[in-house]
């Protein structure tokens, strides 16, 4: 039976002992035993007040009700290190390859060094609040949005432990950081048309086309590297695949995977400007497509005639986004596009920003741009690029005025004295 008491009246070690006041404002303590009989561990929890939904009495009632309703948690089941549970949980997850790779990296580099040795039963909410703050403030420099996204993954991991009856509550549920900076892209991170051409001129010749595929159709680096003959259509490109992060390995059977946020069989179409078609033709005049056979996620053998398969021995099956990123930064340095520290001013993602900014600045609807970029929802596009949409104040005023107070057809030929508020105008 859970007991509710005040330490100031019972515990000689308490700094307020002995307290003679009948209604003092000192805290209350609930002492209870976990389910499991004698094996159940005795625990205590402190509260600032006794009554109320968040008081000591309410918690004591909850503990007893859980016991009566047979909500049992064997303490021994919670004696599993977080590093072991994280590995088991990730192995059971059915997720995309890129998502799995991101999760593995976060767990290995951040979660396990901080909390990997702790038992599931010993984890508290404060542990995860401090962990999120440390990850953001550490040298890793993860953005607030990235930390919050990964904490959703951590909460799902602990929620699985709750379902598995290893812990009674999820200490990571709802742990988030307030956004410290805007999600919107910085306009200084977007190259000019002249700078895009400079990068294309200085990058390794076999990657010149990727610069224009990204800047002209908004593809991600891994999608541009997966460009194949089947992508090219009359007046548009069909984007269906991206290069796997493991494509450079000789034992990789799945060199291509579906695009981000998509499953196998889904695709998106993006219109192409004439200069993109010209660059594709120029690339084909130097390099013929190379057939690559791979196994799709459904186990079916597939074949693509890709534009960027390496033609040298010992270079692996396909270049990855990391390989392309190296050549891209090198091109920026050769073109003189560097910051004050001598590092590349732009990244491959900057070309994707260029595509979106040019389209939006010239009146292309943002929902169309969102579909061409392959975003999961238009909200993501608005958060990142919404500030680049031209202001339409004058157009808004004109549209509303014409809707609510339309000007008469002969208003242009009437003098100001003839047109008075509330007056009826008759045709001559």
Residue that terminates a domain, selected from 22, 53, 72: 72
Bridge partners for 29 per DSSP: 5, 46
pLDDT at position 287, please?
Answer: 92
pLDDT at position 11, please?
Answer: 79
pLDDT at position 38, please?
Answer: 63
Percent of the chain scoring above 70 in pLDDT: 85
Q: H/E element holding 3?
A: strand 3-5
pLDDT at position 252, please?
Answer: 66
pLDDT at position 311, please?
Answer: 57
Rounded-to-integer distance, Cα 238 and Cα 230, Å:
8
pLDDT over threshold 70, residue 411: no
In a domain, 371, yes or no: no
Structural domain boundaries, residue 296: 187-358
How many domains is the chain partitioned into structurally?
3
In a domain, 134, yes or no: yes
pLDDT over threshold 60, residue 94: yes
Is residue 66 domain-shared with residue 108, that is, in the same domain?
no
Average pLDDT, the chain: 84
Is residue 7 domain-shared with residue 130, that is, in the same domain?
no
pLDDT over threshold 60, residue 425: no
For the segment 128-185, what is each residue's pLDDT rounded down to a tens digit?
988 888 887 765 566 777 888 889 999 999 999 988 888 888 999 888 877 655 578 8
> Which structure tokens are listed for 246?
């493991």
Q: Are 373 and 351 in contact (CB under 8 A)?
A: no
Instruction: Name the residue among 135, 120, 128 with its Cα closest to residue 75.
Output: 120
Rounded-to-integer distance, Cα 268 and Cα 340, Å:
39
DSSP symbol at 140: T
pLDDT at position 251, please?
Answer: 65
CA distances from 124 to 66, 131, 152, 362, 392 (A): 20, 11, 16, 52, 50
For the segment 209-222, what is each residue's pLDDT rounded down to a tens digit?
999 999 999 999 99
Confidence label for 229 from pLDDT (cuts 50, 70 and 90): very high
pLDDT at position 419, please?
Answer: 44
Is residue 191 domain-shared with residue 332, that is, in the same domain?
yes
Q: How far is CA 26 from the centre of its chain?
A: 45
Confidence label for 421 from pLDDT (cuts 50, 70 and 90): very low
Q: Are 6 and 29 in contact (CB under 8 A)?
A: yes
pLDDT at position 269, please?
Answer: 96
**270: CATH:** 1.10.443.10
For the segment 1-22, what is each residue's pLDDT rounded down to a tens digit?
778 888 887 777 877 788 888 8
pLDDT over threshold 70, residue 417: no
**Greatest mean pLDDT range, 113-117, 135-139, 396-400:** 113-117
In a domain, 253, yes or no: yes
User: Which residue would you say has higher pLDDT here, 39 or 306?
Assistant: 306
In a domain, 334, yes or no: yes
Which pTM value belongs to this model? 0.61
Is residue 102 domain-shared with residue 201, that is, in the same domain?
no
**136: CATH:** 1.10.150.130
pLDDT at position 101, please?
Answer: 85
Percent of the chain scoring above 90 in pLDDT: 37
Which has the minimum average pLDDT: 149-153, 236-240, 278-282?
A: 149-153
In a domain, 287, yes or no: yes
Beta-sheet strands, E only, within 343-383: none
- Other CB atoms within 10 Å distance of the CB of residue 153: 20
């Amino acid at each position: 039976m859970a007991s509710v008491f005040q330490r100031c009246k019972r515990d000689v070690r308490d700094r307020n002992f002995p307290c003679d006041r009948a209604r003092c404002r000192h805290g209350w303590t609930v002492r209870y035993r976990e389910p499991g009989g004698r094996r159940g561990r005795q625990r205590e929890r402190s509260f600032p007040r006794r009554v109320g939904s968040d008081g000591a009495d309410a918690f004591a009632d909850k503990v007893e009700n859980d016991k009566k309703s047979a909500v049992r948690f064997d303490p021994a089941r919670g004696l599993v290190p977080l590093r072991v549970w994280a590995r088991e949980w990730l192995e059971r997850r059915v997720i995309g390859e890129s998502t799995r790779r991101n999760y593995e990296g976060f767990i290995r580099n951040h979660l396990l060094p901080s909390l990997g040795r702790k038992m599931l039963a010993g984890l508290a909410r404060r542990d995860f609040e401090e962990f999120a703050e440390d990850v953001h403030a550490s040298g890793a420099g993860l953005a607030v949005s990235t930390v919050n996204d990964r904490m959703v993954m951590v909460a799902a991991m602990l929620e699985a432990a709750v379902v598995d009856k290893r812990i009674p509550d999820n200490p990571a549920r709802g742990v988030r950081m307030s956004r410290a900076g805007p999600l919107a892209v910085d306009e200084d991170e977007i190259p000019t048309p002249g700078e895009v051409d400079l990068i294309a001129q200085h990058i390794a010749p076999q990657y010149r086309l990727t610069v224009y595929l990204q800047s002209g159709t908004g593809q991600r680096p891994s999608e541009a590297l997966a460009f194949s003959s089947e992508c090219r259509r009359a007046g548009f490109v069909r984007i269906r695949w991206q290069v796997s992060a493991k494509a450079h390995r000789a034992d990789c059977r799945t060199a291509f995977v579906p695009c981000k946020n998509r499953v196998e069989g889904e695709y998106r179409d993006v219109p192409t400007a004439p200069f993109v078609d010209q660059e594709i033709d120029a690339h084909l005049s130097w390099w013929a497509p190379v057939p690559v056979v791979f196994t799709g996620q459904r186990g079916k053998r597939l074949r693509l005639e890709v534009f960027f398969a390496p033609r040298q021995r010992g270079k692996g099956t396909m270049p990855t986004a990391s390989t392309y990123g190296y050549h891209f930064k090198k091109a920026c340095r050769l073109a003189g596009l560097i910051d004050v520290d001598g590092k590349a001013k732009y990244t491959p993602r900057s070309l994707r920003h260029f595509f979106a900014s040019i389209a939006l600045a010239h009146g292309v609807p943002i929902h169309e741009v969102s579909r061409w970029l392959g975003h999961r929802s238009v909200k993501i596009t608005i958060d990142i690029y919404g500030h680049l949409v031209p202001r339409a104040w004058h157009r808004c005023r004109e549209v509303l005025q014409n809707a609510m107070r339309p000007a008469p057809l002969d208003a242009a030929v009437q003098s100001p004295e003839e047109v008075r508020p509330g007056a009826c105008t008759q045709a001559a």
